Chains A and B, each alone.
Chain A
């Protein structure tokens, strides 16, 4: 679904990603795990086309996309859920949901969205940022599903949320995966990551230092927690 080879990214003088290669296949959940500043968010922004100062190749569905604009990438089926959730304050909940164009035939219908996210129906006329943090996270995920994205880039969806909501997000990720959607998940919550993911990339100072299956990841949980400084 997405293949990245030799990606390096800079912020001015500083190199934040160094020769990173990774891939995510259809129906697979893959995490990027690493400390703050390891380059995880830059990775997602680079895939989305929002970070331009980079070299290397990115191909999506076999097509090289590194020269494409962010909106062309979104229309090709890449859905971004930023770490601040990216909900528009000047748009209602319903408007936030219907803002992006529907880009794929497998896009979720409004009925599906409302069945999975009942709060989106109840609060549809509220302004986007009047929702609680957890509801905003749900809205951000629902938005890219309604759009029909085939690859979701989720930036720390569990951050700052109550355990019961994190659990719900985990269920939703598994449901998305079952439908053949690929997920690239940035996560610092190792426990949560191990409940949803198939594979993990360990990122440190802009490099992939290890690639782990979920079984290895679980077996080395204590060591990884130490590495992440958590």
Chain B
């Protein structure tokens, strides 16, 4: 039972950054129709940026939690204006090629600069210890990651479902042409939405920095799991991305605890089951298939 609770907290923490990154992927796919293969490298850049900020400028975790997403937002805007906006009128094949190529470039640039061995990162002050819950001790950092990610997801959900900005994004996502005909400048919304999605991936990277190995290739496996999450949750569904993110985090943690090396396979077994039962994913609409 004690071990189960520990795996649960560990799974919810991993689920936290899965959920954040998948949320970014879902928002980008929804608003732009772009399947972003570079999302894993944006996550990696978030983690690397935190390590570099600490090493070079002495900027600590708490500040990085704010600074890195802002930097990644700006980076996302640049990428959108420079590269991604040209994809929107082209065949979807080009979007695979461009974002996949972009991720290869980013990974190699980081490798060239920082090598292949992991960059060091310390747990932030105050979150290094263990927290007593009932009879078990869980790492307080993992609990923090879970609660923080959950809070960010709730804020994003609130903005999307209750504000005018969210209303416009939902309309532009569902049927962009119609939104244009109703006087909404959809193109003006696309760039910041992409930047926002990239910032979420970067934020996931910051959260992952203290307890995952920070390497150039850390996003490579991550993106595969992210796609599994998006498929499980339903392509383009924001709620689905968050729920499936936490679900996959838990499956992975229980897998590591009880099934050893089988853990990664379990994620894809879950994906296969979901596709068999609900082809559109847990929260996907039928058109999304």
Q: Which residues of A contact B184 (CB under 8 A)?
A: 71, 99-101
Contact check, B168 vs A99: say whether CB atoms are below 8 A apart: yes
Q: Interface code B171-191, partner A: CB below 8 Å = 1, 0 otherwise?
A: 101110111111111100000
Number of A-B contacts (CB under 8 A): 63
Tell me the nearest residue of chain A to B160, going by C-beta. A90
Q: How far is the CA of A75 from the CA of B180 in the complex (A)?
A: 10
B contact patch SS: helix
Contact check, A99 vs B181: say whether CB atoms are below 8 A apart: no
Q: Which residues of B contact A89 (CB under 8 A)?
A: 174, 285
Contact check, B178 vs A82: say whether CB atoms are below 8 A apart: yes
Tell me the nearest residue of chain A to B188, going by C-beta. A71
Q: Knowing A71-B185, A71-B186, A86-B175 are in contact, say whether A91-B180 is a contact too (CB < 8 A).
A: no
Contact check, B174 vs A71: say whether CB atoms are below 8 A apart: no
Within 8 A of A (CB), among B64-120: none
Q: Knowing A71-B185, A71-B186 are in contact, say whether A99-B171 is a contact too (CB < 8 A).
A: yes
Contact check, B183 vs A103: say whether CB atoms are below 8 A apart: yes
For the complex formed, measure the closest distance between the CB of A37 and the CB atoms of chain B, giving whole angstroms. 21
Q: Which residues of B contact A143 (CB under 8 A)?
A: 182
For the complex formed, measure the closest distance between the CB of B131 and the CB atoms of chain A, giving whole angstroms. 40
A145 within 8 Å of B by Cβ? no
Contact check, B182 vs A91: say whether CB atoms are below 8 A apart: no
For the complex formed, measure the closest distance between the CB of A113 and the CB atoms of chain B, giving whole angstroms. 15
Q: Knowing A95-B167, A99-B167, A99-B168 are in contact, say whether A88-B174 is a contact too (CB < 8 A).
A: yes
> A74's contact among B167, B168, B173, B182, by CB below 8 Å, is which?
B182
Q: Which residues of A contact B180 (CB under 8 A)?
A: 49-50, 69-71, 74
- Chain A residues touching B, range: 20 to 34
- Chain B residues touching A, range: 10 to 19
Looking at B177, B179, B183, which has the most chain A CB atoms within 10 Å of its CB? Answer: B183
A147 within 8 Å of B by Cβ? yes
Contact check, B171 vs A74: say whether CB atoms are below 8 A apart: no
Q: How far is the CA of A187 from the CA of B175 in the complex (A)?
A: 25
Q: Which residues of A contact B173 (CB under 8 A)?
A: 90
Contact check, A75 vs B183: say whether CB atoms are below 8 A apart: yes
Q: How far is the CA of A49 from the CA of B170 in the complex (A)?
A: 22
Q: How far is the CA of A49 from the CA of B182 in the complex (A)?
A: 12
Contact check, A100 vs B183: say whether CB atoms are below 8 A apart: yes
Q: How far is the CA of A70 from the CA of B179 in the complex (A)?
A: 9
> B175's contact among A88, A98, A100, A101, by CB below 8 Å, is which?
A88
Q: Which residues of A contact B183 (CB under 8 A)?
A: 71, 74-75, 100-101, 103, 147
Q: How far is the CA of A145 from the CA of B18 in the complex (A)?
A: 44
Q: How far is the CA of A70 from the CA of B174 in the complex (A)?
A: 17
Tell me the nearest residue of chain A to B173, going by C-beta. A90
A80 within 8 Å of B by Cβ? yes
> A48's contact among B170, B181, B285, by CB below 8 Å, is which?
B181
Q: How far is the CA of A143 from the CA of B171 in the complex (A)?
A: 14
Tell me the nearest residue of chain A to B285, going by C-beta. A89
Q: Which residues of A contact B179 (CB under 8 A)?
A: 99
> B182's contact among A69, A90, A147, by CB below 8 Å, is which?
A147
Q: Interface code A83-96, partner B: CB below 8 Å = 1, 0 otherwise?
A: 00010111100010
Contact check, B181 vs A80: say whether CB atoms are below 8 A apart: yes
Contact check, B167 vs A91: say whether CB atoms are below 8 A apart: yes
Q: Which residues of A contact B186 (CB under 8 A)?
A: 71
> A90's contact among B174, B177, B178, B181, by CB below 8 Å, is which?
B174
Q: Which residues of A contact B174 (CB under 8 A)?
A: 88-91
Q: How far is the CA of A71 from the CA of B168 in the complex (A)?
A: 13
Q: How far is the CA of A147 from the CA of B184 in the complex (A)?
A: 12
Tell me the nearest residue of chain B to A73, going by C-beta. B181
Q: How far is the CA of A69 from the CA of B178 in the complex (A)?
A: 12
For the complex formed, measure the closest distance between the CB of A159 and the CB atoms of chain B, giving whole angstroms. 18
Tell me the nearest residue of chain B to A80, going by C-beta. B181
Q: Which residues of B contact A91 (CB under 8 A)?
A: 167, 170-171, 174
For the complex formed, measure the closest distance between the CB of A72 and the CB atoms of chain B, giving whole angstroms. 8
Query: What 11 additional pairs, Cβ within 8 angstroms, besides A70-B181, A71-B182, A88-B175?
Result: A50-B181, A69-B185, A74-B181, A74-B183, A90-B170, A99-B167, A99-B168, A99-B184, A100-B184, A101-B183, A147-B183
Footprint of A on B, CB under 8 Å? 167-168, 170-171, 173-175, 177-186, 285
**Shortest Cβ-Cβ A-B pairs, 6 listed:** A74-B183, A100-B182, A70-B180, A80-B181, A90-B170, A100-B183
Q: List 19 A-B contacts (CB under 8 A).
A: A49-B180, A70-B177, A70-B180, A70-B181, A71-B180, A71-B183, A74-B181, A74-B182, A75-B183, A80-B182, A86-B175, A88-B170, A88-B178, A91-B174, A95-B167, A100-B182, A100-B183, A101-B183, A101-B184
